[in-house]
Amino acid sequence: MRNAIYMPCVGAARLNNPVLMAFYDRLIARGKKPKAALVACMRKLIVILNTMLARRPKWDPSRYALR
């Protein structure tokens, strides 16, 4: 399962998704190692996807943005 989530998360956290990019950058700024920050992004992505599957909302980046 980790391999199936790893590559999409790398692309999302470093290139495409502003929510995960901000989260990843914040973790790196706090001193996390890049691999640990990426695993945290993977977990966040899984939580977001599980919530979206359960509640059936459309993707709204402002809902998951850092506060």
List pLDDT tens digits, range 12-51.
888 888 889 999 999 999 999 999 999 999 999 888 889 8
> For position 66, what pLDDT does the model report?
66
What pTM, to 2 d.p., does this model score? 0.80
Task: Tell which residue, 33, 35, 31, has the closest CA to residue 10.
Answer: 35
CA distance 62 to 45: 15
Taking residues 2-19, report their average pLDDT.
86
| pLDDT score at 67 | 59
Paired tokens of 54: 């359960």
Distance (Å, rounded) from C-alpha 45 to C-alpha 1? 13
- In eight-state DSSP terms, residue 59 is P
